[in-house]
Amino acid sequence: MESSETLFARALRRIPGGVNSPVRAFRSVGGAPFYVRSAHGATLVTVEGRELIDFVCTWGPAIHGHNHPLIRKAVAAALEDGTSFGTPNRFEVTMAELICRFVPSVEKVRMTNSGTEATMSAVRLARGYTRRDKIIKFSGCYHGHSDSLLIKAGSGALTHGHPDSAGIPASFARETVVLPFNDTASLDAAFAANPGQVAAVIVEPYPANVGLILPRPGFLAHLRVSCTANGALLIFDEVMTGFRLARGGVQEIEGIVPDLTALGKIIGGGLPVGAFGGRAQIMDLVAPLGPVYQAGTLSGNPLALAAGIAALELLEESMPYRGLDALGRRVRDALAGACKEKGLPAQVPQTGSMFSIFFTPRAVHDYAGALTGDAKLFARFFRGCLEAGVYLPPSAYETAFISTAHEGAAIDRACEVMASVIRSL
């Protein structure tokens, strides 16, 4: 089998940057990406046969670990009947019922092929429902790469130093108002400056594409009150957090009811999928019932939904959230303890099975705070962990994920490795 080095050299000749998603390029941490041959449980196996403890978890979907036998069995069974039909199938109905049962704010839901499609469609629906044009978003929150939302974005856009993408007309950007996360005064001022013009506020309730940032007490509740008072819709982008932190997502944890919710990742069980849903009154504006057009040839794909149904049913059966939080706290304590011992200023935000590390002395509450972290020091930390067999997101501005498969030897070894690398910095 070819080496990662050879495969990357081939990729560079035919794929921009050699990768099909920018953060995979390793540019901010140095070196070239490795190529994976297989994955199982908490482990990635490279084409060279090297085993890595994985805290990327395909950027969130693998909450049960890689290649879970029940998910694999569900896909195999669906595959027996075909790969795609272009007509309604039974998996779509089951998935819709599961989502609406798990997430009470969602009365009706439409499947898409990605989280980007889900957020893009939710914004279009909000504009169609309110008959307004402006959208409020928050610096560092990444809602996919649609034109309206790729303004001051996180994720790969931030990692590579281009939070405002080329190719987005200035006229589009003018319809997007960007505010600091956790700043209620700025939100109030934005509504006051744009009376009757704001269609929606879209937010990652726990921003996770700029590292992990947690909301200050009362911030999300203020969003809800402000949107209601100003006739705007509140859109929760729970593509990452949905089903990962609680069965009903952050909105269950925080007790906030958004008007629309974007979902993805876990509901595909590792296959491409997305969804957006909310109040029936709003969702009924989507074609064919209403004038807001949205479509997708592969939306509701039977293989993707079979995998996602198996993933959600596993969550319902096992309810692993308390155990995942315990694993998250173990990682947090190991990282924070090692940094304190070494005398390195660091912040280690963690909630449930999500965590990150910022090498900065100040608490991080927003995009500006995230940028105070020492990205060069993070790169050294990343390389040291990778060399010792632990794979973290290859960016100082991404969030790491834990799966149920990490419990036991994997989490023990990973904590030991990460603490040791910090002590060596």
The residues annotated as belonging to the active site are: 142, 237, 265
End-to-end Cα distance, the chain: 35
Contacts of 378 (CB under 8 A, 6+ apart): 29, 357, 359, 396
Distance of CA 112 to the CA centre of its chain: 16
Gap between the Cα atoms of 18 and 214, Å rounded: 33
C-alpha to C-alpha distance for 122 and 119, rounded to whole angstroms: 5
- Please tell me whether residue 205 adopts helix, strand or coil conformation: coil
H or E segment to which residue 276 belongs: strand 274-278
- CA separation for the pair 243, 247 (Å, rounded): 5
Counted residue by residue, the chain has a size of: 425
- Is the alpha carbon torsion for 351, 204, 312, 70 positive or negative? negative
Structure tokens at 81: 């009947």
The SS3 assignment for 231 reads coil
Amino acid at 225: V
